[in-house]
Amino acid sequence: MLGFNIWPVVVISWAWAVVAVVLNTAIGLAEVPEVLVKVGRSMNLSRRQVLGRIFLPAAVPYIFTGLKLGMVYSLIGVIASEFVLSTKGLGFLVAYNYTNFRTSAMYAALLVILLLAFALNATLNGVERRLYSHG
């Protein structure tokens, strides 16, 4: 439907990631203690202020969990779809080298994927730490 270009890879990656982010955000917003909402109402906060000052800060741990899971699912989606749909990229490189019995090149590509996942996760952890320290 989208052809054999980058768009199927992007759509698959997005579809895998968005579910984790949306579900965790919804769970986080639902888990906000009612007492916090009542305190906000007693302080005459508008709906927008309640959302920005109570709901979002209380849901940040859930949101970042969703972002981390979404990042992992997205990376898996990209690599898996490149196995099948692409003629370039890390997933293609792993599949190509596996098929051609070039195990050292295949493991090198896997190492790059692993390092990419660690770097993305470390970046999200750093952003989360900065947000908690400045919140």
Query: pTM for the whole thing?
Result: 0.82
Give me the pLDDT at residue 132, please. 82
Mean pLDDT of the chain: 92
| pLDDT at residue number 78 | 93
User: What is the rounded CA–CA span in Å between residue 128 and residue 65?
Assistant: 10
Q: Pick the most confident of 22-36, 72-86, 117-131.
A: 22-36
CATH number, span 9-134? 1.10.3720.10
| Domains of the chain, residue spans | 9-134
For residue range 37-95, list pLDDT tens digits in order: 999 999 999 999 999 999 999 999 999 999 999 999 999 999 999 988 888 899 999 99
